[in-house]
Amino acid sequence: MIQIQDKNVENQVYFPKSTNIEGDLVLKLHSELTQKDYTFDVVNESKTSNYYKFNVNFKSVENGEYTYFINDTDSGLIRIGNVDEAVSTSTYIDGIEVVQYYPQYVKEIDYSKEPLTFKILSSGTINWTASNTAITRTIDYKLNDGKWASITSNTGETAPTINVVKGDKIQFKGNNAQYATDTSNYNSFSGSTASFEVEGNIMSLIYGDDFKNKLTINDYAFLGLFTRCTNLVSAENLILPATTLAGWCYDYMFDGCTSLATAPELPATTLANHCYGFMFYGCTSLTTAPALPATTLAEHCYATMFGGCTSLTTAPVLPATTLAMSCYQQMFYRCTSLTTAPKLPVTDLVNSCYKQMFQGCASLTTVPELPATTLAIYCYYGMFRDCTSLTTIPRNFLPVTTLADYCYYYMFQGCTSLTTAPELPATILADRCYSRMFYGCTSLTTVPSNLLPATTLAKNCYSNMFQGCTKLTTAPELPATTLAQGCYFNMFSDCKSLTTAPVLPATTLVSSCYAGMFNSCTKLNYIKCLATDISASDCTFVWVTDVAETGTFVKKQGVTWAEGISGIPNGWAIENNI
């Protein structure tokens, strides 16, 4: 244990001269009482002294425990990573100890000044593969301290390989503006059998030796570059310096990298269409997502970005205030370990913006607030589909009163643990707005009687809405008197616990409006339908297949119904409503 002594006179730390500080000395300091930042000045003692002496200055910082780097024994400056401006200064401090130090040479590397580099962790090959012969690219590589050599990609077994062993280092450079032309034509390191980490500046593949400080990239620049590199374990020190991106530039970049545990930083603030699409798709070892600082998005920019990242437990903050079409579509698709969704603050939505965003997130237990006041086509389509751990939804979760086509389509389909439904106050509906919304929610038992207040409907607006809700015992009221084509199509199909149908007050039926409505509701034994005009095509087509063998059907007096699966169920008693 090395302690700071004489704190009230002079803050000094002494290290034995036997300590190797000819290179860099790594210190780890900790304060039990306060959280501080330190700088040390070397005071060179005479040759007869047994110690190097360091004067100490203190600055307040946010965290109290760090690894420090002494870069130069003449200046002795210790620089701390990830700390902004000092909050305050103090001359002296209590309780400061050097709890551990390592007398070893540790050089801080500026990876932005290093070309794209692979650090080899196990023996094998590094392959340079083209998806087809029309897209081949030539790059240069240097193995360890050898000479630069050229290598041209090729397909399949004809792809060139570099034989490597553990501890090798390969550097790469090139002068190609892009390594792909679309999602079917690209170059990659797929097929590599060696385990490796990737570091350094990706721009060396575009700008050769002149890559430092370069920020401009083209469409499809690095699409699929590491796709299916199943032995790539870390990209933590890979530098992707561009702050303004291009279309599809990082699309599928790490697709199928099943061993990738750490992603690179993504500093870009100006995005482009499809720029990060499928970037980490299928990275089943990735546990933490990189920060995403952009506030204005682009079409499909994050689409399926983390799809299939089954170990991802925490989502990044999503600060964007301006959305674009399909910007978050399937972003966390089948992230089965994700437990909490990020905040979604935007109030004006765009087409497909949150479509299937959390589909298949089987560990998600809560939903984020959705403050949007203006919806768009497909905006929440399938958003929480198959979130099988989701049990409750806040009552005021969906406050919007004017809907858009397909806005809630599939939204909670397959949420098999969901027991309650949110309020749905909308009075202006749109085509298929609620279609399949709670399809297959097998734990849903009841819904508010006034759940669906709209009196004017839209095409297929409620189709399949509660289909397969096998525990639903009570249906909501259906007050609408003006129907639309297919409006209630299969609405309660397979609701095997439902005994009583909601009153159906509409007098004039329309094409397919009730088709399949109560199909396979095996306990259903009461229907009251007040229609006077049932002539529309398929208006009651197979609507009572496999209902209870006996029951009561109430109809308007004077209206003639057929009997059977498309009319009044066989064996039921008939009552007339005057």
Q: 426-477: per-residue pLDDT in tens?
A: 999 999 999 999 999 999 998 999 999 999 999 999 999 999 999 999 999 9
The share of the chain scoring above pLDDT 70, in percent, equals 81
Segment 44-56 shows an average pLDDT of 36
Write the CB contacts of 399 (distance below 8 Å, at least 6 apart in sequence). 373, 425
Write the CB contacts of 47 (distance below 8 Å, at least 6 apart in sequence). none
Which pTM does this prediction carry? 0.81
Closest by CA position to 241, among listed 276, 218, 205, 213: 213
Structural element, H or E, at residue 576: strand 573-577
What gap in Å lies between CA 252 and CA 237, rounded to an integer? 19
What gap in Å lies between CA 213 and CA 198, rounded to an integer? 19
Structural element, H or E, at residue 55: strand 51-60
- pLDDT reported for residue 577: 86
- pLDDT reported for residue 578: 76
Read off the amino acid at residue 2. I
Read off the amino acid at residue 324. A
What gap in Å lies between CA 74 and CA 41, rounded to an integer? 8
Say if residue 515's pLDDT is above 80.
Answer: yes
Say if residue 105's pLDDT is above 90.
Answer: no
- pLDDT reported for residue 108: 60
Q: Please say whether the beta carbons of 408 and 439 come within 8 A.
A: no
